[in-house]
A = this chain, B = another copy of it.
């Protein structure tokens, strides 16, 4: 019997317990022996849970128990998740995390600590919920070089944008419904303002390049100002408006990462991702483009991803996998203003003046009517300077 501890008994933590029970046979076969929960760390008591007798309120008993070889961190937030995870690894325990915030902020420290102490730190559940997206970077894609990652990584905003489009309803109206249904939180800022998506693209950037961008170096656009008119404009331009997280690794090792509402053309599979689903595409020279699609959140899928890491560690497979080192590298981030895209642009003033100003920067400026244009590639700064105050949306082909 292998013994694990779970830090945080919320949506993900309780899902881990449920999947451990529900799929006990599959897990035992994959690991080679049974896996049991020895401790659950939480501030609350759970007198009605079958695990109630295993609840502790401090990390010390877990650190001190040599029978616990692995700890699942499902607390969320940076602190004390960081300190607890580091302490577990110092005590010789591997850590599996579903916590995108701590991985995005401190992934470099955490992976270094794992290496120093000969344990594993894995985080499949931190991006894309149940979609098995992160392990391939250590395994299937380990002999390739991922140069671009583009995806829809936040289900809440995608749900809102899809509803606005399909039902012609306003942002506030759909947001209220999403909150009622539990798809959006009471304070929805982290989703709406691209903060959740930014953490995920930071992690994906680090997986692709080894460089862990600083939070302040990655632009995060919001969907709060998206109107029905923008959604209709996207449709008229042969696409769909989506909150896109994207990172490109340049040949000289710099990274251009961002989160922004973009118009995704219908030829791109991301245009057809609806509702709370996530989809992430990876580009690499050998494999070409591949895309993963699935539920990016939810108790069971996320817990399943945690348990796939647990299995990899307890079976011994993770030890032989090529887990990268993350490093912060000041000066490696290309700011959003200097990133290049084709654009959808809509001006409220003179269309002919706007066309002229845009043509000074790019070869292609196609009028779409009503003061709107589709342009060739230029930087965000060039577009903003050419048509100040205009609606400016990157286009993804």
Contact = CB atoms under 8 A, between A and B. Distances in A.
Interface string A56-89: 0000000000000000000000000000000000
Interface string A240-274: 00000000000000000000000000010100111
Interface of A: 19, 22-23, 26-27, 29-30, 124, 130-132, 135-136, 139-145, 267, 269, 272-274, 281, 285-295, 298, 300-301, 303-305, 307-308, 310-312, 315-317, 319-322
29 contacts: A19-B143, A23-B145, A26-B143, A26-B144, A26-B145, A30-B322, A130-B288, A131-B287, A131-B290, A132-B140, A139-B308, A139-B317, A141-B308, A142-B308, A267-B274, A272-B272, A281-B293, A286-B307, A287-B295, A287-B300, A287-B304, A289-B295, A290-B293, A290-B295, A291-B291, A291-B292, A291-B294, A293-B293, A317-B321
Contacts of A30: 142-143, 322
Contact of A132 (B139, B274, B305): B139
Nearest to A322: B30
A310 B144 CA distance: 13
Dominant SS at the A interface?
A: mixed
Contacts of A139: 132, 135, 139, 308, 311-312, 317
Contact of A295 (B23, B288, B317): B288
A311 B22 CA distance: 33
Given A19-B286, A287-B304, A316-B319, 4 more contacts: A132-B139, A140-B308, A315-B320, A319-B320
Contact of A293 (B145, B269, B274, B321): B269
B290 A132 contact: yes
B317 A320 contact: yes
A144 B304 contact: yes
Nearest to A286: B304
Contacts of A140: 124, 132, 135, 305, 308
A70 to B, nearest CB: 14
Question: Would you list the 10 A-B pairs with minimal beta carbon distance, nearest first?
Answer: A132-B140, A290-B294, A317-B320, A316-B320, A30-B142, A286-B304, A291-B293, A130-B287, A140-B308, A30-B322
Contacts of A304: 143-144, 286-287
B272 A301 contact: no
A175 to B, nearest CB: 23
Contacts of A145: 23, 26
Most chain B Cβ neighbours within 10 Å, of A301, A310, A316, A317 = A317
Given A139-B308, A293-B269, A286 B23 contact: yes
